[in-house]
Structure 1
Amino acid sequence: MKTTRSYTMTSRARSVEETRSRILTAVVDLHTEKLAGDIGLEDVAQRAGVSVQTVLRHFGSRAGLVDAAFEHAARMVRDERRSPVGDVAEAVRVVVAHYEERGDGVLLRLAQEDHEPLMRRITDHGRGLHRAWVEEVFAPYVDQAPDPEALVDLLVVATDVYTWKLLRRDRGLGRDLTEQRMGDLVAALLPRHTD
């Protein structure tokens, strides 16, 4: 009897976590497709395959949902952008893959940041996350640079979503060529270290 109850509780907990994850993913996905002001709880519930009451039961309020989705998205981005420290080619490959998956959504959020406080919060966090990623991944080169802060600034630009956009969307280059050009930018900043 005890084993059955334990299994039932574990199964229930797993089901609750899966529902919660579906709701958070729905919020993140909707913010890559629509303006923030056009997304209602009904949209989130429909995308997640649950009722609005279920969304509110899990998160308490719209504000609670937004906060949880913010944390969920930040974890996803950190996980997607994990790169070996000092591996320039892999870092560029990882960041381009991330932009291929999420770049258009990032651009949509950036377009809203001046009039949507939530979008400003998300984009400010994203800028900080990107800079921290550059500092971590390129640390062996930054540590040897005569002006580490200047090098970080330039690496941030070379690997930024707008750089990807200029090459991939504005110029219409393919993914491989976009990756190559961004890699060339990074390599030009690290000539002594990437031979």
Structure 2
Amino acid sequence: MARVRLSVEERREELLRAAVGQIEQRGVAALRVADVAAALGVSNALVIYHFATKEKLVAAAFAHAAAADLAHLRKLLDRRGSAVKRLRAAIRWYAPTGQAKGWKLWIEGWAASLREPALRDVAQDLDQQWKAALTEVIAQGADAGEYVCEDPPGAAWRLTALLDGLAVQMTSYAGALPRKSMLEWVDDALARELGLERAELSR
């Protein structure tokens, strides 16, 4: 059966989705352009036509995945309700046993970015946008008098560092830490940064 003819943007979207899937399955180091092409039943030349090199394909795939993650983060943080409620929802979604997908993908990306400048730029940009979004909402809640936080950027950095560290542990050593314990630690950290008791987070 003949393949449906796609626009340039549709084809790039298809290739990026396939690349993300192959990176999650094989890792960045083992990934080949041929793997992405084979996953879609297209030629290597078609992948190269759109992305020129494997390195550019990988960087674009991470940027594609990052855009989806950031869009969902902003959706959670832009909801109605208190800053505490929005922050807790976002952090629990982002936590390694939450509903955020692709922790294995991001751990692969962090490792590969040590050697790939283009990928490092993508990962750093995502990290900065995540911290900026958290900082903004933490500052909103402090300004509204919900809690006292004199250093919203520092709080965002510390919360992100905790979540990223837990993600590495939970992804690398599955089952090493009960989900309940991890979520309690995350709530403890959020409450501490906001100067609240943990029970106040769920009010």
Write out the 4+ residue segments of structure 1 that deviate beyond 4 Å after TM superposition. 15-18, 167-171
In 1, Cα distance between equivalents of 2:109 and 2:60: 18
The alpha-carbon deviation at position 70 of structure 1 amounts to 4.3
In 1, Cα distance between equivalents of 2:59 and 2:112: 18
Identity %: 24
Which residue pairs with 2:177 in the alignment? 173
Contiguous gaps of at least 5 residues in structure 2: none
Which residue pairs with 1:123 in the alignment? 123
* 1:155 corresponds to which of 148, 159, 175: 159
Which residue pairs with 1:89 in the alignment? 88
Give the direction of change, closer, same or farther, for the CA distance of 1:22–1:33 in structure 2 (3 Å limit).
Answer: same
Greater gyration radius: 1
Q: TM-score, normalised by structure 1?
A: 0.72
Contiguous gaps of at least 5 residues in structure 1: 1-10
SS at match of 1:115: coil
- CA RMSD for the aligned pairs? 3.1
Report Cα offsets for 1:8-42 as digits up to 9, x if no partner. xxx855x6654432210122223334343432211
Give the direction of change, closer, same or farther, for the CA distance of 1:20–1:31 in structure 2 (3 Å limit).
Answer: same
Give the alignment of 1:100-115 within 5 angstroms: 101-115=101-115
Which residue pairs with 1:138 in the alignment? 138
Which residue pairs with 1:61 in the alignment? 52
Which residue pairs with 2:69 in the alignment? 77
SS at match of 1:145: coil
In 2, Cα distance between equivalents of 1:71 and 1:169: 23
Structure with more helix by fraction: 1
Counterpart amino acid of 2:167?
W
